[in-house]
Amino acid sequence: MNSIAANYITHISNSINSSEIPIFRYSQLPTLQASILKKCVHLNQFKMVHTQIIKNPSHQTNVLLAKLIESLVAAAHLDYAHKVLDEMSEPMAFAFNTMIRGYALSGNGEEGINTYIKMQEHCIEPDSFTFPFLLKASTALSQGKGVHSLIIKSGQLGADVFSQTSLVSFYSRSGGLKCARLVFDGMPEKNVVSWTAMVTGYMKERRYNDGLALFHQMQVAGIEPNELTLVNVLSACAHLGAYEMGKWVHRFINRHEVFVNPILGTALVDMYVKCGYIQKALQVFEKLPERIVCTWNSIIGGLAMHGYGELALKKFLQMQTEETRPNDVTFIGVLSACTYSGLVDKGREYFYSMRKQYHIEPNIKHYGCFVDLLGRAGFLQEVYETIKNMPIEPSEVVWGSLLNACSSHGNVELAEIAMGKLVELEPFNDGNYVLMSNIYASKGQWDNVARMRRFMKDRGILKTPGCSSIEVGNMVHEFMAGDSKHPQSKEIYSTLDDVAARLKAEGYVPKTSDVLHDADEDEKRQSLCHHSEKLAIAFGLVSTNPGTPIRVVKNLRACCDCHHATKLISKIYEREIIVRDRNRFHHFKDGACSCNDYW
């Protein structure tokens, strides 16, 4: 008798009630055993069926053992499943594939690869499922390339769409995007899963424009996207601020009656939030059939980013009323809502309630938010004391928040302390050096500005150039500071001259202290005039109808001069201008901003 079965017969007989032991005729054994497997939950129940299979062998024994392995793997009893596999007299590819897949899904890919090696030792030929499961088990790029070579050597399997799609997925998630594209382009047949895998790969590498371009090709090829494709496309639209494409996806969902599950619903809300349409995001949110914590986090964080702090906090209370438990991400949104709206007392209350009321230990991001909250409000000494008394080591996020606060309030002494820590923690972050230079420049300390610039040059640290984008006619147009590459560049700069003249008539005086070099005033004004968001706004004025909103996405924090100028432009040209900078949204209208100059 099989040694595993023999060891458990007595134990099973004693531990399972007689009412649980099925009574059947010998001829019924295979059918009944297969059906009983579907009802097994506990390991003892599986062992009982295993014992019956071994005690009553038939021509279906190997099939039943393979089914037993499948059921054990599904119930996460991998160790016992592997023992069953090891003692099979004639193991089949199905049993090995099941084990490889089980190990891959459980996060033990190495054991999955070892199982494949045992499969080869038994001289069992892989089938069309083996390689996709083996790719799921592969965690290193070199392992996946090894599997790729096996697929090629297998001959006919090399053209199998299942294996090829698995290769695209593997390379996409493992940082081998070029390999993924080579496999994808060489596929003789592509299905929706293949296209989605490639689109997803571009999203993981933050190549959102390439991802959207491939999505366009997918549409031309007549492949209807699935829910995962749509989630990825919405994510790209959110990052790029590509509202028109996001709106098209929403129409597609409605037109094709795609079920909006919580993940897709959250992606829709997030897209509208990050494209600057917070009211539309709220409408979508209210109509969702089901909301999960991520959905609530998206709307709370979105309202905070748009300056609706009070409403964000109301949603936080509603979330709890509807019995959705907040998590650590929720409190980042809540603290941000307090920060962007200047609700210092509320922010203190929520920060200290995390541990006491919600049993959530504040992490480094929460401390960063709390420091930012206090710092923006000018409580710099309280910020410094909070940092010194933190139960965890302050990170670059925390010291960076202090440096930002010092920039807003012109505190050079504390800024130098924060900068000293940041040089140790993230020595190649150009943003910190630029911010410190800005603090020195605002005080007219040009020697210190020059010292910062020399320090950056000596270390090979380059300033990240400002980049702003605007979507017009379903195309995203990008502008760098001083850019002249756009086909309509001449018209854009002509419009900028008109903007400058009308701003001057309104009494606008450029904030030349934001220019980080000791140049004459005319050079400083020229530099400010050609900032990337001003170029994008000028293009918006040129290429969109009068009275329509202009929406701009910027990679850096808005500078004081651009913020001041954009308020006036919104009034002069009677346009609503929505700017999404690195931290938040600014809604400019009639000469005012939604942030109330608190950013």
DSSP states along 491-516: HHHHHHHHHHHHHHHTT----GGGS-
Residue type, 157: L
The span from the CA of 328 to the CA of 300, in Å, is: 13
Q: What's the whole-number average pLDDT of the chain?
A: 86
Give the pLDDT score at 331. 96
Q: How does pLDDT run across 183-229, given as a tens digit for each residue?
A: 999 888 889 999 999 999 998 888 998 999 999 999 899 999 999 99
Give the pLDDT score at 300. 97
Tokens coding 423: 């040089």
Strand order in the sheet with 592-593: 475-480, 467-472, 550-554, 577-580, 585-589, 592-593
The span from the CA of 324 to the CA of 340, in Å, is: 24
Residue type, 558: A
Give the pLDDT score at 6. 38
Strand locations in 537-595 (E):
550-554, 577-580, 585-589, 592-593
Give the pLDDT score at 383. 92
- Residue closest to 444 by CA, chosen among 343, 518, 337: 518
CA 482, chain centre distance (Å): 31
Pairing verdict, β 550-554 and 475-480: unpaired
Asked whether 559 and 514 are in contact (CB, 8 A), the reply is yes
Q: Which of 84-93, 149-158, 299-308, 361-370 has the lowest mean pLDDT?
A: 149-158
Q: How does pLDDT run across 330-373, given as a tens digit for each residue?
A: 999 999 999 888 899 999 999 999 999 999 999 999 999 999 99
Tokens coding 191: 């299905």
Q: With b meaning 16 or more CB within 10 Å and e meaning fewer, what string describes 265-296?
A: bbbbbbbbbbbbbbebbbebbeebeebebbbb
Q: How does pLDDT run across 473-522, given as a tens digit for each residue?
A: 878 899 988 878 889 999 999 999 999 999 989 888 776 555 544 444 45
Tokens coding 354: 């995390």
Q: Which residues make beta-bridge pairs with 578?
A: 551, 587
Under the banding of pLDDT at 50, 70 and 90, the label for residue 11 is very low
When pLDDT is averaged across residues 271-298 and rounded to a whole number, the result is 94
Say whether pLDDT at 273 is over 90. yes
